[in-house]
Amino acid sequence: MMRPTQRLSTQLNRTEMTWRDKIWQINWSLIGVLTAIASVGFLTLYSAAQGSLEPWAIKQMVRFGIGIGIMIAVALIDIRFWMRHAYALYLISVVLLVAVEVKGTIGMGAQRWIDLGFIQLQPSEIMKIALILTLARYFHGATYQDVGRPLFLIPPLAMVLAPMALVLKQPDLGTAMMLLMSAGAIFFMAGVRLWKFGVLLAGGLGAIPVAWQFLHEYQKKRVLIFLNPDDDPLGAGYHITQSKIALGSGGIFGKGYMMGTQSRLNFLPEKQTDFIFTMFGEEWGLMGGLFLLGLYVLLVTFGYAIALRCRSQFGRLVALGVTTTFFLYFFINTAMVMGLVPVVGVPLPLISYGGTAMLSLLFGWGLVMSAYIHRDVSIGRRGAHDD
Amino acid sequence: MYHDNDRAKTFNRRALMLAGGKAALVSTLAARMYYLQVLEADKYVMLAEDNRVSLRLLPPPRGPILDRNGIAMAINQHNYRVLVVAEQTPSLAYTLDALSTIITLTDHDRARITKEARRRRSFVPITVRENLSWEEVARIEVNAPDLPGVLIDVGQSRYYPLESLGAHILGYVAAVSENDLTGDPLEELPGFRTGKAGVEKIYDMALRGRGGTSSVEVNAVGRVIRELERKEGEPGVDLALTLDMRLQEYAAQRLGDESAAAVVMDIHTGALIVMASTPSYDPNAFNRGLTAEEWKELVNNPRSPLSNKALSGTFAPGSTFKMLTAMAALEAGVVTPDQRVFCPGHTQLGNIRFHCWKKGGHGSQDLIGGLKNSCDVYFYEIARRVGIDKIAEVSRRFGLGNPTGVDLPNERPGLIPDRAWKRKALSQPWHPGETLINAIGQGYTLATPLQLCTMTARIANGGFAVVPHVARDAITDKTAQPRTAPEWPSCNMAQKHLAMVRKGMFAVSNEPGGTAYRARIEQEGMWLSGKTGSAQVRRITMRERETGVKKNDELPWKERDHALFVAYAPEDNPRYAIAVVVEHGGGGSAVAAPIARDIMIEVQKRERARMAGSDGGHSQ
């Protein structure tokens, strides 16, 4: 139908794409991997409820369905739209975080939710996406030389530290660390000189004794328990000890689906949320765990491939930022339940029962896919407005 | 395109670095998974099982104790308890109110239950009351629909149907104390009772049996989900004793209110047929719980009802010791049976005068005469010749000075003195006069009634070192097997010496003038041979000797002589040995010998009846 030269020119210039072009570009294998991971979650939640769709699995499926819808919608929206509104989204997120401070409902001992009536909003989750967008936009226009100037780095640092401080105040150490780390990845990808990271790392390590003073008692306890869980096997170390028992007793092939004794007999705490990987590992063993890990790695690889394929710096940074955030989610969660890092409230992405995290993650993957669909769209320094 | 290539290159390079870092982290995760789920898996599988499975002990019924004829001496009784499970009640207070209209509940009970309910998890049953009567149980069962959360539970408690009879041999059971812990998990069970005295104590492990187990699956808060496996335990062994409780009853009656002990033994097997110690106590009282006054009375009673005098009471054997002195002298060859000693009523050693019990003296005495008349001077003389060490050595061969090894706790060793002992214990040299005193069973010499009975048995059975026992069977920790025919070691006493001593004992009981002639048995085939003893417990002063020694009746109880008698029967074909000791009872011939005679008649009568019965059984 089309001559090869014509095709090439359309590919090279996707500044104006029709809806049909975009839908054609939707990356169905990426959606396939996401669905596979989420399905592992459905299965495990079904087992966690002793073989019942209620109360978790069915709700999780509905949320995933909505999430995939949102994701596709986000993906089809022009990436320049997201870039144009990045700062606004960031500001809204900051306002929401402040709102949580002012008028939040107490959940799990920490103020993290805002009740909008139909959904309980967790502004810190939105912030994870907004921060990526706003940093990506900031660095999009920056030249390699720009990034080399220390003064140039002060605004983005402020963009990171402000929400971090608000999240820490909630207090939510896990999310604050995630914000810091994904922001750090974007700084790194944007080309901030390596020695600056070295200085920050050294400074950070030096600040640990100072920071220790500001930690809440329960946070200190978690760190201490992490360092020696056997100190208090029935108290605060209980979670991590029981989690290791559940995982370890699963062995290579697991105890079988719906046969995890640790989870079924409630020795395992929060088995449907933060410790869901433990339950999966108990029932499916090392093989199941490696399979799930493989799915996650596959998804991250998709993210990398998309980022590298992007022509715009914004798209590249967004794709890698979201991918890294996602990576941090599953790394911190699995490392936590296996006793490699202290217990912090980070869910297993797409699997742990919970609405906000799933929606914000799929929103993020929507952005990644948008970057894919608009991979050949070139964006000028000033954003959507072509120079 | 403004250095876009630079940026893209940097981006690609850094993306590679970041990916490398992530790959390292993922490898860490995989390695950790491998470590937990493969290398350490066994440990965690075990821990998970520990978590999941809880072992519950099922207490076994304690073995009953029977006498030689199968009369029950210790049995288990049902103990009905009412329990309440707090989580199944609409409200604990309401249920207790309802219960208190049916059975009596004290405020104290209520306070304890409420306290326990607060401390324990709500599904753990709490004991409301124990030892319910059958009527109370029935009333609760009838009202069961109105009492949700209330259950009746049957426990077991020990009951001794014969009450005070044989209490000293049986002992009793009580709650496990710190010192009793052996590591048997049964001991951790609430309400578990362990043997504290007597055979209940010594055969405790065999009687308690082996606990069964029920492994149940529990969840994180300890609620039982289901039973996985049940292993029934083994009940304790049936413990049959050698005692004949009807003879025991007779002996106890015959001893009456005296503080006394009587022991009857089969001289060939060592089986104890009677072991009575009076006064006694009711072991059931310990299970019920004693009041402070009852306890005080038991402990402060001068006749010490709690002690088994047959093996925990030590007495100067008095003249019952003379057989040993005689054998020591015969074996040493310092006297022949026919050599005579003149008794003027006393003898002189250095400047100390030793008196015979008979003021005027016995005149010329040979060995038989010395035993028959219990002439002290005769034994002073032969003891002087043989020396204390030889007497002590022979005494030990016949079972004195050491515990006999009977299968009962708290046996005392008594005391057989010799030079070495005195040097060691008192740091003093032996005085020759002490040889004379101890040769007639006074002074330091002490023996238990059981030892005296064993000594008599060994004399009667031809010099075999028989050891007494009360358990009919050989009991290991878990089983009871019939005893094998015992092969007792020899006491190494020449038969002619034993025969001579037995002849003397025959004369004591069966020749006119013998000290126990009046307490002889006249029934054909049941004759006994014995030896009397009256052990002095006070010093008789010179002045009292001049004015006339006071009669026992004139003395306060504590100062009266101990009355002793040892014997065996039938004299021509010995089968049974007996020792009777009446503490502060007076004279052996007047008090102890008639009791021993009556018991021996009953023993032999019962034995004949038994033989006839079993013969009849064989001919059928």
pLDDT digits (tens, 9 = 90+) for A134-154: 999 999 988 888 888 889 999
Model pLDDT, residue A229? 63
Higher pLDDT, A59 or A174: A59
d(CA B563, CA B586): 5
Using pLDDT thresholds of 50, 70 and 90, give the confidence band for residue A236. Answer: low
d(CA B599, CA B604): 9
Model pLDDT, residue A262? 81
Higher pLDDT, A331 or B4: A331
Q: Which two tokens stand for residue B418?
A: 């010799």
Model pLDDT, residue B223? 72
**Closest to A261 (Cα-Cα) out of B51, B228, B223, B221:** B51
d(CA B244, CA A77): 105
Write out chain A in H/E/C secondary structure. CCCHHHHHHHHHCCCCCCHHHHHHHCCHHHHHHHHHHHHHHHHHHHHHCCCCCCCCHHHHHHHHHHHHHHHHHHHHCCHHHHHHCHHHHHHHHHHHHHHHHHCCEEECCEEEEEECCCCEECHHHHHHHHHHHHHHHHHHCCCHHHHHCHHHHHHHHHHHHHHHHHHHHCCCHHHHHHHHHHHHHHHHHHCCCHHHHHHHHHHHHHHHHHHHHHCCHHHHHHHHHHHCHHHCCCCCCHHHHHHHHHHHHHCCCCCCCCCCHHHHCCCCCCCCCCCHHHHHHHHHHHHHHHHHHHHHHHHHHHHHHHHHHCCCHHHHHHHHHHHHHHHHHHHHHHHHHCCCCCCCCCCCCCCCCCHHHHHHHHHHHHHHHHHHHCCCCCCECCECCCC
With H, G, I as helix, E, B as strand and everything else as coil, classify residue B321: helix
Contact at CB, A250 and B22, closer than 8 angstroms: no
Contact at CB, A248 and B15, closer than 8 angstroms: no
Least confident of A271-275, A382-386, B542-546, B581-585: A382-386
First to last CA, chain A: 34
**Closest to B395 (Cα-Cα) out of B376, B414, B382:** B414
Model pLDDT, residue A130? 94
Contact at CB, B37 and A251, closer than 8 angstroms: yes
d(CA B602, CA B608): 10
Contact at CB, B219 and A285, closer than 8 angstroms: no
d(CA A156, CA A175): 18
DSSP secondary structure letter of residue B315: B
CATH for B56-240 is 3.90.1310.10
Residues 319-338 on A with a CB inside 8 Å of B are 320, 324, 327, 331, 334-335, 338
Model pLDDT, residue A231? 60
* Cβ-Cβ contacts under 8 Å, B2 against chain A: 143, 381
Interface test with A, best of B36, B38, B42, B218 (most A CBs within 10 A): B36
Q: Residue B378 CB: number of other CB atoms within 10 A? A: 30
Average pLDDT per consecutive 10 residues, chain B (620 residues; last block may be shorter): 68 91 95 92 85 78 92 89 82 86 84 81 77 84 82 83 91 80 73 85 90 78 76 87 94 92 95 94 79 84 90 94 96 94 92 90 93 95 95 96 93 94 93 93 95 97 95 84 87 95 95 93 92 87 77 84 94 94 89 95 89 51
Percentages (nearest 5) of helix, strand, coil residues in chain B: 45, 20, 35
Q: Which two tokens stand for residue B417?
A: 């003195």
- Whether B508 and B531 have beta carbons less than 8 Å apart is answered as yes
Contact at CB, A248 and B218, closer than 8 angstroms: no
| Residue owning tokens 């020696």 | A228
* Cβ-Cβ contacts under 8 Å, B52 against chain A: 261-262, 265, 267
With H, G, I as helix, E, B as strand and everything else as coil, classify residue B447: strand
Model pLDDT, residue A385? 47
CATH architecture of B245-279+307-475+487-619: 3-Layer(aba) Sandwich (3.40)
Q: For chain A, give the percent of residues with pLDDT over 90.
A: 44
d(CA A156, CA A132): 11
- Of A145, A246, A297, nearest to B26 by CB-CB distance is A297
Of A66-75, A351-360, B288-297, B530-539, which has the strongest mean pLDDT?
Answer: A66-75
φ, ψ of residue B66 to 5 degrees: the values are -125, 160
| Residue owning tokens 């000290």 | B515
d(CA A247, CA B83): 40
d(CA A258, CA A264): 8
d(CA B457, CA B469): 13
CA-CA distances (angstroms) from residue B497 to B330, B371, B372, B516, B573? Answer: 7, 13, 16, 22, 18
Higher pLDDT, B40 or A343: B40
Contact at CB, B48 and A249, closer than 8 angstroms: yes
* Cβ-Cβ contacts under 8 Å, A248 against chain B: 36-37, 40-41, 43-45, 47-48
d(CA B248, CA B163): 13
- Angle, CA of B214, B217 and B221, to the nearest 5°: 120
Complex prediction ipTM: 0.89
DSSP secondary structure letter of residue B241: B
With a CB cutoff of 8 Å and minimum separation 6, the contacts of B450 are: B263, B275, B310, B311, B404, B406, B411, B468, B579
Model pLDDT, residue B192? 78
**Closest to B99 (Cα-Cα) out of B145, B147, B133, B132:** B147
Report the DSSP pairing between strands B65-66 and B239-240.
parallel
Mean pLDDT computed over A55-76: 93
- Whether A14 and A374 have beta carbons less than 8 Å apart is answered as yes
Catalytic residues of B: 319
**Closest to B239 (Cα-Cα) out of B70, B60, B63:** B63
pLDDT of A73 over the 90 cut: yes
E strands present in B18-130? 53-58, 65-66, 72-85, 125-129
Model pLDDT, residue A1? 41
**Closest to A262 (Cα-Cα) out of A272, A252, A277, A250:** A250
d(CA A383, CA B102): 88
**Closest to B407 (Cα-Cα) out of B361, B371, B443, B450:** B450
Interface test with B, best of A239, A264, A265 (most B CBs within 10 A): A265
pLDDT of A78 over the 80 cut: yes
C-alpha gyration radius of chain B: 36
- Whether B610 and B618 have beta carbons less than 8 Å apart is answered as no
Residues 209-268 on A with a CB inside 8 Å of B are 242, 244-252, 261-262, 265-267
Contact at CB, A293 and B26, closer than 8 angstroms: yes
Interface test with A, best of B1, B3, B5, B7 (most A CBs within 10 A): B7
Please give the full DSSP string across B128-168, using - where no structure is assigned.
EESS--HHHHHHHHHTGGG-TTEEEEEEEEEE-TTTTTTHH
With a CB cutoff of 8 Å and minimum separation 6, the contacts of A337 are: A240, A243, A247, A274, A275, A277, A278, A281
d(CA A133, CA A138): 9
With a CB cutoff of 8 Å and minimum separation 6, the contacts of A196 are: A150, A153
Question: Burial of B70 by CB count in 10 Å (0-12 exposed, 13-18 middle, 19+ buried)?
Answer: exposed
d(CA A271, CA A276): 5
Please give the full DSSP string across B382-410, using - where no structure is assigned.
HHHHH-HHHHHHHHHHTT-SS----SSSS
